[in-house]
Amino acid sequence: RAKTILSLDAAMNKVDRFLKTHSPRMGRGKRIKEVKSNLTDNESAKMTTSKGTIQGYNGVATVDKKHQIVIDAQAFGEGQEHHTLQPVLEMVEARFKKLGIAENIYQKGTVVTADTGFANEANMKYLHERRINGYIPDNQFRSRDP
């Protein structure tokens, strides 16, 4: 009994330390709410998938179609991926600039394509304002086009 009490007390102290040193991480979905995580890896997130809820990351890879190589890959600790388009495109732009490949890769005829997970008004506005030739399917097209 004493051993169990010590074990539970240690677990409670670990949770207490975590809560005192970390602030809640807010998601960036349609409804802003706290991202559920865990003590071991606070940057990961609980994500709902077709196979249930998992703890992990959302991986986003950027590929050069012409050369068939991955030019950027990042992991984001949120289930929604729509908010990742801007940081990914900016990372690619910075990398191409740093390597001296192009001052602005998106003004050199580059075409950006992404799946429906990236479709939202903010991303469309970002592409338009930056004059990036981007194609993202409307995520509501199936409900309008039988």
**SS3 assignment, position 66:** coil
Full-prediction pTM beyond 0.85?
Answer: no
pLDDT of 71-115, one tens digit each?
999 998 877 788 899 999 999 999 999 999 988 999 888 999 999
- Domain residue spans of the chain: 58-144
pLDDT of 41-81, one tens digit each?
777 877 777 888 888 888 899 999 888 999 999 998 877 78
13: phi > 0 → left, psi -120 to 50 → alpha, else beta; which? alpha
If we measure between CA atoms, which residue out of 115, 113, 117, 118 comes closest to residue 132?
Answer: 113
- Cα–chain center distance at 15: 26
Report the alpha-carbon angle 92-96-100, nearest 5: 170
Per-residue DSSP letter, 130: T
> DSSP 3-state helix, strand, coil percentages of the chain (rounded to 5)?
40, 25, 40
Terminal C-alpha separation, the chain: 64
